[in-house]
Structure 1
Amino acid sequence: MEYALYRGDTLLKIGTADELATFKQVKRKTILFYATPAYRKRTVDNKALRLIRLEEQA
C-alpha cells in the first residue's frame, strides 16, 4: 500500500508507511495516525502533515 505525505499543499514524499516513517524518523503507527479523523481535528490544515492513501489501479 502506498501513501502520499503532504504538509499543507506541498507533497513531501510518496511511499509505503515504513518508508515514510523512516523519512520522518517516527514510528509506523505515527505515520498512519496522520490519516485519521482525530488527527485532522487536532491540527491546522496548512501546517500539519496529512497522509493520503493512494488507490491501486487494476
Structure 2
Amino acid sequence: MVKEYAVYKGENIIAMGTAEECAEEMGVQPEYIKWLTMPTAKRRLAKRKNPEKCTVGVLLDDDYK
C-alpha cells in the first residue's frame, strides 16, 4: 500500500501524492514530507508565533480517497 500525503501552507494545498511526488514538487527531500506528519513536527510548529502560516503535512488514509 502506497502512503499518500497532503502538504498545506495555511489553508492552501501545496502538494498531494506520495512523499516522493510531494518532495519533487516542493524541491525538498521525501524525508521532510514524512517528518511533517510526525508528532514532533506538529508540536514544534504549534509553538511558532504564527502556526497558521506553517507548512503542515497530513498522511492521507483510505477515508480521504
| TM-score for both structures, normalised by structure 2 | 0.74
RMSD: 1.4
User: Which ranges in structure 1 are unaligned for 5 or more consecutive residues?
Assistant: none
Task: Specify which of 49, 53, 57 is matched with residue 59 of structure 2.
Answer: 53
Count of residues in correspondence between the two structures: 57
Q: Are 1:6 and 2:8 matched, yes or no? A: yes
User: Which ranges in structure 2 are unaligned for 5 or more consecutive residues?
Assistant: none
Q: Within 5 Å, give how 1:1-58 maps onto structure 2.
A: 1-43=3-45, 44=48, 45-56=51-62
Give the structure with the larger helix fraction: 2
Structure 1 runs (4+) deviating above 4 angstroms are none
Cα shift readout 1:10-58 (whole Å, capped 9, x = no counterpart): 111211100011111111111111111111222232121111111125x
Q: Which has the higher contact order (CA 8 A, sep 6+)?
A: 1
Tell me how far apart the structure 2 counterparts of residues 39 and 55 of structure 1 sit (CA, whole Å): 19
Bigger Cα Rg: 2
| TM-score for both structures, normalised by structure 1 | 0.80
* Structure 2 letter corresponding to 1:56: D
